[in-house]
Amino acid sequence: MIFALTGRLKQRAGGSRYSSNLSRTIFAAGLSQVLPLALTPVLTRLYEPAAFGILAWFVAVSAVGSSFALLRIDWAVTRVCSTRRALAITAGGILVGAVVSSVYLALVLGAYKMGVVPAEIPFLALLLVPVAVLFAIGGAYASAWHTRWGDLRPLADARVAQSVTTSTSNLLGALFSTGGLMLVAGMLVGAFVYLGAQIRRRIVARALSIRVISLAQIAGALRQEAGRIKYSGPAGILNAVGLYFPTILIGMWYGAQNLGWFALMLRLAVYPTLAFTAGASQSFLAEVSAAARNNPADISARYARTKTLLTVLGTVAAIVCLCGPMLVGVLLGAAKWSGAGWTLFALAPVVLVQVVASPLSPAITVLGHERWILLWDVARSSSIVLAITACGLLHLPYEIALCAYSIIMAVTYAVMLRKMDSMLMLVRR
């Protein structure tokens, strides 16, 4: 299917750079999911549901920390015309991220002392959170430079290398321990490989040239981007909260087993589809950034083609999720994971809307309407947090909390898709 899809893309677009980037990133995204999916039935028989819950909590907390550390400053690297200014933004963004990651560790440790962190989370996992955040910062800025150059081949290769490394580490780690900390270690090793695979000689040359950038130039570049950051930065934080805070809340209110079910279904359904959409969105952002500088009206055509492709992918993924109750127990081990099938069923709307809406944030940012992303993220994130918290306080079943989360996600993404169409109508005029 992946080969047929990428081949059709190349034929339809006549070998354009956009088609080449899109087909390469989608192919790499598909290839990067083959090994994890193949090993999942083995891993679910080696690791307990709680182990996957620990991994999910770690990923969620690290992702929220990364959103604070990045503030979407890395997006400016793809947009600005001056290479020197892009270098100054990169240097400033890395410095900001390093400081924020240290402060974030203090907040995580404070939450641990307050008893907010689930009891199953190992203390060492808390100390590893800033390591994951720093890897995410490095990967984001390396990706931004490759996107700026319009060469997404290193990103595709890095994604495949990360997948192979993480899967292999998880499998070999079970020989020593079947606890969640071993899954966390595998995730970190994969993140390190992802960063290293992107840092080729061209990136290193740019990094070395940062030393000629003065602190005054860095501060000036960040001040010039402050107008966009004040909207896109908080929007990025709220987006991460909306995506990952449900995991934290489910662990807090519904225990390790339910969190493990939720985590595994995210791994099987949401994360693979996000890998596809990340590739499509990265390719879309590379072209739209260039179009914004030269021909803004071309953004509409790019978005329409990307949206059509993602709608097809999202529909297929949602249908697979709806079959979850019949498939999960058989494939993954009925004794531990049969109840997770209904979790996958409930996540079907989430998978569909996240796939279709994946280019929204880059497109709206390029169009200069970051405030709409901020308002939307505030409404969506606050609704999700309030809904799951209310379910927990009222002692409602886990299934009701999950359905509430799914419905809120579907409705809010549909609203933003409609808003995006309205923005593009103004661009065409």
Q: Across the chain, which distance is largest between two alpha carbons, in Å?
A: 62
For residue range 75-109, what is the model confidence (pLDDT) as tens digits? 888 877 777 888 888 888 899 999 999 999 999 99
- If you count them, how many residues does the chain have? 429
**Contact (CB, 8 A) for 179 and 173:** no
- Is residue 301 scored above 80 in pLDDT? no
- The pTM assigned to this predicted structure is 0.75
- Token digits of residue 257: 């087993």
- The enclosing H or E element of 92 equals helix 83-113
**Contact (CB, 8 A) for 139 and 194:** yes
For residue range 19-51, what is the model confidence (pLDDT) as tens digits? 565 566 666 666 777 778 888 888 988 898 889
**Alpha-helical runs (H) found in 199-297:** 201-209, 215-265, 271-294
Say which residue, 395 or 358, is predicted with more confidence: 395
For residue range 187-230, what is the model confidence (pLDDT) as tens digits? 999 999 998 888 865 666 666 566 567 778 888 878 877 777 77
Rounded (10°) angle between helices 153-173 and 271-294: 160
Say which residue, 413 or 278, is predicted with more confidence: 413
- Predicted pLDDT at 305: 72
- Is residue 321 scored above 80 in pLDDT? yes
**How many whole angstroms separate alpha carbon 374 and alpha carbon 390?**
24
Say which residue, 151 or 322, is predicted with more confidence: 322
In the structure, what pLDDT confidence band is assigned to residue 369 with cuts at 50, 70 and 90? Answer: low
Mean pLDDT of 253-259: 84
Task: To the nearest 10°, report the CA torsion of 284, 287, 290, 294.
Answer: -110
For residue range 122-150, what is the model confidence (pLDDT) as tens digits? 999 999 999 999 999 998 998 888 778 77
- Is residue 110 scored above 90 in pLDDT? yes
- Token digits of residue 358: 């994946």
- Is residue 9 scored above 50 in pLDDT? no
